[in-house]
Structures are given as structure tokens and as C-alpha cells.
Amino acid sequence: MSGGVDSTLAAALLVEQGHEVLGGTLLLVDQPPADDAPDPEAAAAALGVPFARWDLREEFERLVVAPFAASYAAGRTPNPCALCNARVKFGLLLDKARELGADALATGHYAGVVSEGGQPRLVRGADRRKDQSYFLFAIERAALPLVRFPLGGLTKDAVRVLARERGLAAAERAESQEICFVPGDDYAGFLARRAPPGAFVPGAIVDAAGRQLGEHRGLAGYTVGQRRGLGVAAGRPLYVLALDAGRNELVVGADEELWRRDLDAADVNWLVDEPCGEFRAAVRIRSRHEPAPATLAPAGRGAWRVQFDDPQRAITPGQAAVFYDGETVLGGGWIQ
């Protein structure tokens, strides 16, 4: 429980269904909460359920924050929420739930788990604007029978209506879009404190042919598809095409150069039986991207090659490529 409207309503619905509910939250970072931060303990008390708090700061630093900073330093754009879900929320927290003898771990994610042929399947949330299945691709398949998503069939608007009807204090609370360990969304400040020194060594801005156009401030400050803040006057809009950490070069070009048909996804995690060979699926390359039809083929050592039917814009190393069959999440991996 965060104290926000999603997790509070999820808990309320479970109480109404007759479940024995324990509300819990995780202490993940050292920074003090903001004055207007939601209070999960008060939310649990209002529902009449017991509450627990687990200190996982050390584990969160090791499993999520350090890899996040290292990934930026290597010229990649990481996805810490997917890492946190796999390693912390549906990893360490699920272990805590088991230790307590709980039958399941429930969260306020907009996703679902359904049974197909007696096997649980992770599916997209009914609210396409809020669907969070993309961020859940890396959880272990063995966790699926043990998780519940009470909001999976609801829209965000419906969640607020149901929360108001129940008089929940969180009903009107605005939701945060920030990464929890980057206060104020100040990526530059966070990375300046945490990334290795080499992450902010200035270097050349070059075009695809290698011609130098300017100087960047350090690769950690850029991501594929970025247009603003390049500081290059070229008479036409320029976008980041790639971050070459080996050469410490920022490669830029026109929008049409951002479109590609293929990618390699490594460390693929399967939530269904792994396919034996080439197959068709729809593939999502970021959380706001509509899954695009593609052919997938094994590439060895847990990697898969994705060939899209149509070019996709700004395929970004470090982000996730998540595979779908209709509503079902098949699995996914990390874009190389």
C-alpha cells in the first residue's frame, strides 16, 4: 500500500470480498517523504486492516538504484520500474508475504491474471491509458498464481468513483509520475550524484557519417529520440539516434533516421512456455507504445531477434521489449 487511490481501493475491494487483508508498504529510499505524501498506514487503519512496514533500502539500492545509474553511464536508458517489480515487489515482497503465510500478494496495478487451460496468464489492464502490464513482464512465471490485481478490469475514472463512494481519503489524490528515488524528477542531479565519473565526460556530437557537429555534456544526460537540449544549430530538427559509450559520442540525425524494423532483446523472461522457434507476436517497446506486429526468432543465449512488419520510432537500448498475444503477455526482454 502506498496510501494512493489505487492501492487503497484495491485493499478495500479485497476486504469487501471477505479476504483477510494485511496492508504493507516498503521503505526503499533514505529521503524523507514530502509533506503532502500519502500515508499508507492511515489508509490501512481507515479500512480496519493491520499494517506492516518492511525496510528494504539496502536491497533496493543493490537491485534497482545501482543498476539504474550504471545503465545510464553505459549509454543506455534503463527501466527501473520493471526491475523493481521483478526483483522487489514481486520478488522480495512476495517472499515476505509467503513468510507470513499469505495466500496471495495483491497490488493496485492496472493489469490482470486470468486462467487459460488451468494456467495463469498475465493480461493487459482494461484501461488502455493506464495499462501496466508492460512493467510486469520480468516477474517470475511461478509468481503468477500468487498475485492479484483487483483493479485490472477497471478504468482510472471508475477507480476514483468507487473510492469516492467508499469515502476513501485518497479518492482525489493526484498521482505521481516520478520515479520514486529521483526527487522532483531531477535526473541530472541524481545522476551527477550517483553515476560513475565517466558518465559526464564531455564528448563529440556527430552525425551518422561521423562528422562532428558539436559537443555533448556527458552521455548520461541524453536518450534516444531526444530533440531538445542538444545545443546544435543545423538548420533542421535533429534527434538523438544513438549513444556510443565506447567512443563517448552522441550520434544525431533527422527524424526519419530514428525509424528501424528490428531489435535484439536479451535476458528474455517467459510467462508462458518458451516457443521452440520463430513465431508471431505484437511487441511493445515502451510503456506508451501500442504493440506492433512482428516476427520473433531465437538468437541464442536467452536472446530473441524481433523483426517488425513496419518500422518503429526510437527503439531505445535499455528499455524493455514486451511480447503480446492479444491481451496476454508472453514475456519480454531488454533491448540491446
Structural domain boundaries in the chain: 5-183, 201-253, 259-335
Confidence label for 277 from pLDDT (cuts 50, 70 and 90): very high
**Burial class of residue 315, CB neighbours in 10 A (0-12, 13-18, 19+):** buried
**Average pLDDT estimate for 272-298:** 97
d(C-alpha 80, C-alpha 72), whole Å = 11
**Candidates 3.20.20.70, 2.60.40.1240, 1.10.150.120, 2.30.30.280; correct CATH number of 201-253?**
2.30.30.280
| Burial track 189-220 (b if 16+ CB lie within 10 A, e otherwise) | ebbeebbeeebbeebbbbbeeeeebeebbbbb
DSSP state of 64: I
CATH of domain 5-183: 3.40.50.620
pLDDT tens figures, 122-149: 999 999 999 999 999 999 999 999 999 9
Residue 197 scores a pLDDT above 80: no
- The CATH architecture of the domain made up of 259-335 is Beta Barrel (2.40)
pLDDT tens figures, 13-31: 999 999 999 999 999 998 7
**Average pLDDT estimate for 229-257:** 94
d(C-alpha 200, C-alpha 25), whole Å = 35
Q: How many CB atoms lie within 10 A of CB 278?
A: 12
d(C-alpha 265, C-alpha 298), whole Å = 10
- Of 15, 70, 126, 180, the catalytic one is 180
| Active-site annotation holds for 81 | no
- Give percent above pLDDT 70 in the chain: 100
- Of 9, 12, 84, 258, the catalytic one is 84
Is pTM, for the whole model, over 0.85? yes
**pLDDT reported for residue 15:** 98
In this structure, are residues 253 and 266 in contact, taking their beta carbons and an 8 Å threshold? no
